[in-house]
Amino acid sequence: MATKPKRVFTCTECGGVSPTWRGQCPRCGVWNTLVESVAGAGRKGHSLGEPSGVPVPLGSHPNEDFRPFPTAFSGLDRVLGGGLTPGGAVLLGGEPGIGKSTLLLQLAGLAAVAGRRVVYLSAEESLPQLKARAERLGVLHEGLLAASTTDAGAAVDVLGATPAPDLVIVDSVQTMHMAGIEGAAGSVSQVRSVAAACVEAAKRGQACLVLVGHVTKEGQIAGPKLLEHMVDTVLYLEGERRHLFRILRVLKNRYGPTDELLVMEMREAGLIEVPDPSTFFLGDRDPAVSGSAVVMAVEGRRPFAVEAQALAAKSFLSVPRRAALGLDVGRLHLLLAVLEKRLRLNLGQADIYAKIGGGLKIQDPGLDLGIAAAVLSSFYDRPLPAGAVFWGEVDLSGRIRPVAAHDTRLKQAERLGYGPVLCPSAGSLGPDVDNLSDLSRFLFSKS
């Protein structure tokens, strides 16, 4: 007599399992994320080739060549640490319409031109749609193979084919369906099973696997969190769809650096690398306008100048407004509290808005000093000195602390001809600015 399948409840956020439904996941603590699934369903679809898991002496295991091969996209090779690794698995996440499919189709075309065997599996577009976009991007090549399917078994067969392809792209993991697994495409059990089967097939062969992942409204890659643990590299493509630039960040990389990023510009022919993004995000900045400060930010290993903007306007509300774009609004609240306390300013009567120019989103702590200078400039309605550049972390006592990559920022500011430089230990390029009082005195005490 067949046993009745045991049903459990799986968290869509972290993949944790609970025998009964709860309002809060017992593993990650997130509310309303438990969905019903069949226990053990995710284990199906893993019978690929010979059985694995048998311990062997590691020293006697035959050596295999896992050196990455270049993609002919120099910026992407730098971000990945040399190129794509045979047998590796890459997860690319990003918002809808941000350019994930465009970037991967360009990558597939360049790899095909370089003599690599590439297979692009799309569960979201038909072959005529893929061909039309490939023609627009100029990447059609006889070595570029494509299929339109939602069957994850087809992806597993392609990864295990002989001869094995060099690169297999699955677009996307949330729209693929594994036979024998309950749940619709995109459910926790399906996403986990599809990803596990594809990654295992890639690990047993020589093909590099690239999975496309959707993101949630919070900006996290959709599906269980363990999806990021299954793969070797996690990339995230971000930017504003109404702006031309895109930033490719590395969140995880077993084969290379994790602090690199690639700045690209969206054009009709696809995504083009910005070779020198040092001043790319400044746009047509007007230095004669108050509330605008240039900050030498560092994202990854590359320094570039960005514009921190602020607007302080008289408030007619009982609770003044505070809004931020491109930075954490809690960070803005903290800086305003420090400015009001240490400089004895009455900011409680003003609505204050802050943003990073160009639609950027930056977490660099060195942004603090530039935001503080922009707020003071708008509050006093006096522009900052032309050519001034800022960086430094502001603590709760009002002191300005040095930040990482200080020498890199200093050299970049000198190369671009900025001055004065306002930061801790500016040396001969600017005054000594140790706290917010020094900053305010230097900027606004002059007649």
203 is in an annotated binding site: no
250 strand-pairing partners: 235
Q: How far apart, in whole angstroms, are the C-alpha atoms of residue 36 and residue 21?
A: 8
Question: Beta 261-267 vs 270-273: how paired, if at all?
Answer: antiparallel
99 is in an annotated binding site: yes
252 is in an annotated binding site: no
Question: Beta 389-390 vs 421-422: how paired, if at all?
Answer: parallel
User: Which is nearest to 357 in space by CA: 443, 262, 293?
Assistant: 293
Q: How far apart, in whole angstroms, are the C-alpha atoms of residue 240 and residue 250?
A: 18
Q: Is the distance from CB of 128 to CB of 189 less than 8 angstroms?
A: no
Residue 87 exposed, middle or buried by CB count within 10 Å (0-12, 13-18, 19+): middle
Report the SS3 class of residue 306: strand
Contacts 24+ apart (CB under 8 A), 72-76: 72/110, 72/111, 72/113, 72/114, 73/106, 73/107, 73/110, 73/273, 74/273, 75/262, 75/264, 75/273, 76/107, 76/248, 76/262
Q: How far apart, in whole angstroms, are the C-alpha atoms of residue 80 and residue 233?
A: 8
Whether the upstream peptide bond of residue 424 has omega within 30° of 0, thus cis, is no
355 is in an annotated binding site: no
Half-sphere exposure for 241 (CA within 13 Å, toward CB):
7
- H-helix or E-strand spanning residue 103: helix 100-113
Whether the upstream peptide bond of residue 172 has omega within 30° of 0, thus cis, is yes
- H-helix or E-strand spanning residue 354: strand 350-356
Q: Is the distance from CB of 148 to CB of 125 less than 8 angstroms?
A: yes
Cβ count near 334 (within 10 Å): 15
- H-helix or E-strand spanning residue 369: helix 367-380
Cβ count near 444 (within 10 Å): 13
Q: Is the distance from CB of 169 to CB of 120 less than 8 angstroms?
A: yes
100 is in an annotated binding site: yes
Q: How far apart, in whole angstroms, are the C-alpha atoms of residue 78 and residue 119?
A: 23
98 is in an annotated binding site: yes
Q: How far apart, in whole angstroms, are the C-alpha atoms of residue 242 and residue 287?
A: 25
Binding residues: 94-101
Binding residues for ATP: 94-101
